[in-house]
Structure 1
């Protein structure tokens, strides 16, 4: 079997306890006349800019050249590139386009159809397959099994940042444009785009609504794996974790800060999670 490696893009929010340490093609952030790689700006500096009232930051997908650098670095190994949902970004197209820049490279591009913590779950599946000596085809099957059973839910303090970033779409349509509501947002598994599944009128109730959504989806008492996400305040994720522990056995829980390129759409105050039932599919023999 030909050796292979996993790479990803900047839609990934990585967890120290998962097999998420992979080379990443970064997104870029643009603030007025300044541009940064998303991994070059501190989250605290981004929050200050978001609150300053100046030009709203925008993001751009990795370039084909950045993906090509990752493909070249693989040498003789094949590459499995795991991208953010094509329903949210053109990163998949850049990853595909990079093939032409590295003639002869053996590259498989996988659309995660999600992002952030849920993308991290799929990267973990792919690297687990590699670590256990399986093929890229097996890795893709494991990622698809993970995608099928994983949900991503998050809530934000205001819809204003989604509106500014042009990502509000079906969320605002569902809420009727009432910007004072706190939505519970997920990524639709078919379109790979944001959609609203709940709402609340206070921040505390919004965090409760995320926990309620999890239990409604998986059933009270179901053992869960949860990758928690937070914006400016880690305590929000701790609150969500405590609510989940009241309803579920947690077989694994980890924390990650939302990365800057996603923060420009969520705003500073955000909390969420990727969540799936029990053990990983390959550990249960269902992948």
Structure 2
């Protein structure tokens, strides 16, 4: 195993047991709601978040970790590791990368490589998982950086929201704006583009057709080859489990997991969101 630390952010929302067993470190994004500040997945879990959201009259806001928190993490990790690789949520939807890069420019005890993955959630989780595997096989920092850049270029994420209201209120609607205000039955298939910003791929009628199209996209992306797949959901586990089963039947999956959306991402997409990440 290499002596390189992996530091990611809370939107990857990997299981705690996996984080501990692979020595993956996490810096949380922030949620601000009716005068209370929360750290993503630390002070509030997805279950607590959606319970609170259901009866809320206001929608929370989110923010990136500040520079000093990244500096503190770098300082702590430098005591144990020879280098740090930092794969993070897309700069197209969060300022987290900016904080990490600024902190890295102020830090010199060990080399730090900040990776803009141009994605988040299940796709970020897949990338971090692959880096953890490479690290366990002895990859050095430069090899991990090259691996991360390769994965970023290969990874796709597609998702469908129950309503565009949350993306609109959170200012992250991007290319999906042309569908805002359309009939509730219209379900845009959204994705993160090459710049890591939200784009609208196409639209379908009904959630059932949206799910079917997400599965088709996973099949198309696999192109008959073995792939890594993450099914993502926001408070929609039973539907995610059904998606996982259908994908397993149609795709040769080297890795297939369900990933719950962290509260920070849930803030912007809302409950009922389903999606798929593939590389």
Q: Structure 2 stretches of 5 or more lacking a match? A: none
Q: Is the 8 A contact 1:223 1:250 kept in 2?
A: yes
Q: Does 1:118 align with 2:123?
A: yes
Counterpart selection for 1:25 from 24, 27, 32:
27
Equivalent-residue separation in structure 1 for 2:133 and 2:259 (angstroms):
20
| Corresponding position of 1:96 | 101
| Corresponding position of 1:194 | 198
Once the 2 structures are TM-superposed, how far is the Cα of residue 216 of structure 1 from its aligned partner?
3.1
Q: Which moved more, 1:224-233 or 1:256-265?
A: 224-233
| Corresponding position of 2:65 | 62
Q: Is the 8 A contact 1:170 1:195 kept in 2?
A: yes
Equivalent-residue separation in structure 2 for 1:245 and 1:75 (angstroms):
41
Equivalent-residue separation in structure 1 for 2:94 and 2:272 (angstroms):
22
Equivalent-residue separation in structure 1 for 2:246 and 2:201 (angstroms):
19
TM-score, length-normalised on structure 2? Answer: 0.89
| Corresponding position of 2:244 | 241
Matches within 5 A, 1:129-168: 129-168=134-173
| Corresponding position of 2:36 | 34
Query: Which string of whole-angstrom CA distances, capped at 9 and with x for unpartnered residues, describes residues 134-157 of structure 1?
Result: 221111111122222221111111
Aligned residue-pair number: 272
Matches within 5 A, 1:8-23: 8-14=8-14, 22-23=24-25
Counterpart selection for 1:266 from 251, 264, 269:
269
Q: Is the 8 A contact 1:208 1:243 kept in 2?
A: no
| Corresponding position of 2:76 | 73
DSSP-derived class of the 2:24 partner: coil
Q: Which moved more, 1:129-138 or 1:203-212?
A: 129-138
TM-score, length-normalised on structure 1? Answer: 0.86
Once the 2 structures are TM-superposed, how far is the Cα of residue 179 of structure 1 from its aligned partner?
5.5
| Corresponding position of 1:85 | 90
Once the 2 structures are TM-superposed, how far is the Cα of residue 250 of structure 1 from its aligned partner?
2.6
Q: Structure 1 stretches of 5 or more lacking a match? A: 277-287
Query: Which string of whole-angstrom CA distances, capped at 9 and with x for unpartnered residues, describes residues 179-213 of structure 1?
Result: 52222111112x11111113222121111111122
Flag the 1:66–1:160 CA change in 2: closer, same or farther, 3 A.
same
Flag the 1:8–1:17 CA change in 2: closer, same or farther, 3 A.
closer
Question: Over aligned residues, Cα RMSD in angstroms?
Answer: 2.2
Q: Is the 8 A contact 2:244 2:258 kept in 1?
A: no
